[in-house]
Homo-oligomer: A and B are copies of this chain.
C-alpha cells in the first residue's frame, strides 16, 4: 500500500504566488473593465535584447542540420558557457572560481529548491525572516523543518533570523544556536536590502568557524550600484570553503521564460568528509539532463560585448522604475526601503493594516497588484513588496494611482 510523503502535509497553504494569481483572476473576472497593473510577482516585462534573439536564431539553425545538431548536453553544462561565467562573473572580480566549479541549470528556483537534497535531514537550517518561500518549503518537503506552530507563522525546527526596520533588514549572526545551513539572499528578495562586503565577511568567518554551509542566492546581483556591496560571496576571503552560490539569468537578461541559471560549488568545499561538488555533480547527472543547447547559447551571448551593453540597458530600465516607485511612495508618505541596489521596494503598510488587507485594498482601489509581506514570513507582516519589473509607463501610472488614493 503506497504511503505518501507526509512532510508535504506540513506545508502551509499553497505557494504564495499561486494564491496571488487566483485572487487577481477572481477580481479580474468580477471587474472586467479594471486595468490591473501587476507589480507583484518578480517577472520581467521587457523583450529579450537583439544579441540574445540573434544567438537563439543561430542556435535553432544549428539544430536543423545533422552535422551541427546537438543532442544531450553535458550534464553539468557546455564548456563554452561555464567558461564565460567563470571569466566574467568571477575572475573579472578577483574570485577564484574555475569553469568546472559551475553547474549550469534551468534556473535558480530549481537549484534553490533542489540543493538541500545533498544534505542530511538532520541539519538545522537558518533563514532570514522575511524570506523567499522556496528555501523554507523545500526543507519542509524534505522533513527538515519540524512542525508548523500555529499563531507564530514559524516551523519548530528552523532558525528564523529577523530582518526588521531596527536592524536595517539585515540579519544578525545567530547566537542562541548554530545553524548547519544558512540561506542568505543579497540583494534581498523581498526587502531589497543589501549587505556590505565587510558585513558578509563576518558570515563567511562564522560559517568557516562553525563548519556550517552558506547557500548564497545572488540572483539580483546585476542591480547592485554601490561599490561596497559584493556581487558574489566569493569576493570575501575564504568563502570557497563554506559557501555555495546560486545565480540566475532571469533578472539581468530577462530569461524568466527562457530558463537558465547556475550554481557554484567550489571544489575545496568539504563537509562531513565529503566534497559537496561531487555530491551535487552526482545529483545533476542522475536527476537532470542539462539545459537546452539553444538556451545555453543565449546565455553565452549575455557575456558578449554587445550582450553586456544591452543587459545593462535592461537593468537601467528597471532601476528607473525602482527610483520612480521609491520617490513616489516616499512623497505620498509611505515608509519605504530597498530599490537602490535591488529591483524590489519594501514598504510599510499604512495605518497598521495587515499585509493581505493592504493587498486587497490596493487591488480594489488602485487596481495594483503587489505581494503581501506576510507571505514571506512573520516579520514580513505589515509590509508589502513592489517590483520594478513592470513597463515604465505602467509603473508610473501605478505609483500615481497610489499617490492619489
Q: In the complex, what's the smallest C-beta–C-beta distance from A197 to chain B, in angstroms?
A: 24
Question: A1 is contacted by which of B117, B211, B274 (Cβ under 8 Å)?
Answer: B211
Chain A positions 275 through 289: 1 when the CB is less than 8 Å from some CB of chain B, otherwise 0: 010010011011111
Q: In chain A between 43 and 62, which residues have their CB closer than 8 angstroms to a CB of chain B?
A: 43-48, 50, 53, 56-57, 60-61
Contact of A289 among B18, B259, B283 (CB under 8 A): B259
| One of B8, B47, B138, B180 near A2 (C-beta < 8 A) | B180
Residues facing B in A8-28 (CB within 8 A) are 8-9, 11, 14-15, 18
Stretch at the interface among A105-113, A354-362, A371-379: A105-113
A273 to chain B, nearest CB (A): 8
Q: What's the minimum C-beta distance from A294 to chain B, rounded to whole angstroms?
A: 7
**Which residues of chain B are within 8 angstroms of A259 by Cβ–Cβ distance?**
106, 289-292
| CB nearest neighbor in B for A49 | B64
Task: State whether A134 and B286 are in contact (beta carbons under 8 Å apart), knowing that A47-B69, A63-B258 are contacts in the complex.
Answer: yes
Given A15-B286, A53-B64, A257-B290, list of 19 further CB < 8 A pairs?
A: A1-B180, A2-B180, A2-B272, A4-B118, A5-B117, A5-B279, A15-B285, A46-B66, A47-B65, A47-B69, A48-B69, A57-B57, A71-B254, A72-B256, A73-B257, A110-B287, A137-B286, A257-B292, A292-B295
Q: List 23 A-B contacts (CB under 8 A).
A: A2-B271, A3-B119, A3-B120, A3-B123, A4-B118, A4-B119, A4-B274, A6-B120, A8-B118, A8-B274, A8-B279, A15-B282, A18-B285, A44-B71, A45-B69, A53-B61, A56-B294, A57-B57, A106-B289, A107-B289, A110-B287, A117-B141, A256-B289
